[in-house]
Chain A
Amino acid sequence: AQSVTQLGSHVSVSEGALVLLRCNYSSSVPPYLFWYVQYPNQGLQLLLKYTTGATLVKGINGFEAEFKKSETSFHLTKPSAHMSDAAEYFCAVRGTNAGKSTFGDGTTLTVKP
């Protein structure tokens, strides 16, 4: 069984401020973890992924996330928010032997000028 909890359905930051979106997962096997971004009326685009190896992973658009097994977390960060980062963000988990990915309910990021 696998599940994802995203803490905070809405996050608002000022342009230039730190972005922190929280994700906790549950998986009965070693997980693969993903962050996706979704713009209105579009599908989901992959930001970054963790499979094995280095626990700090870097993605597109300056985002990064750190896999912390002891905390079952995979929080997404970006040092300095840009207006174009405003979107909905989804965390997902897939067990290494699973076919499907399970998604959280998403966090809407608002960036204020």
Chain B
Amino acid sequence: DTGVSQDPRHKITKRGQNVTFRCDPISEHNRLYWYRQTLGQGPEFLTYFQNEAQLEKSRLLSDRFSAERPKGSFSTLEIQRTEQGDSAMYLCASRGGGPLHFGNGTRLTVT
């Protein structure tokens, strides 16, 4: 169990640019989740996958956000045309039948 890995740890981008984050879950976990966390708030659900199928997507997620998990292993989260309001910590988590295991997150700063 090497834990959930996220890359990069930090990303600074200019408004209007596209960014992509990667998450490698714990290998035997079939469920993978993306959450967003801003200062003083708890993690806010974005989307989740069971194997390669995206089963739920938050209504709060705009069309600029897209996530994939092409082979049921790693996942990517892309944000197109970034806005300053996208600045946050993006957390990935995975689980089998039990609780969530989180990565250390990707901190996005949009200038």
Within 8 A of A (CB), among B62-90: none
- A90, B48: Cβ atoms closer than 8 Å: no
- B42, A105: Cβ atoms closer than 8 Å: yes
- B99, A41: Cβ atoms closer than 8 Å: no
- B56, A99: Cβ atoms closer than 8 Å: yes
| Residue of A with least CB distance to B6 | A43
B99 / chain A contacts, CB cutoff of 8 Å: 32, 34, 46, 49
Question: Chain B interface mostly helix, strand, loop or mixed?
Answer: strand
Q: 1/0 per residue A78-113: CB within 8 Å of B?
A: 000000000000101000000111111110000000
Given the known interface contacts A46-B100, A99-B48, the answer about A106 and B56 at a Cβ–Cβ threshold of 8 Å is no
A90 / chain B contacts, CB cutoff of 8 Å: 42-43
Q: How many residues of chain B get a CB closer than 8 Å to chain A's CBs?
A: 25
Cα distance, A90 to B4, chains bound together (Å): 19
Cβ of A45 under 8 Å from chain B: yes
Cβ of B21 under 8 Å from chain A: no
* B13 → chain A closest CB, angstroms: 19
- Chain A residues within 8 Å of B, Cβ to Cβ: 4, 6, 9, 32, 34, 36, 41-46, 49, 90, 92, 99-106
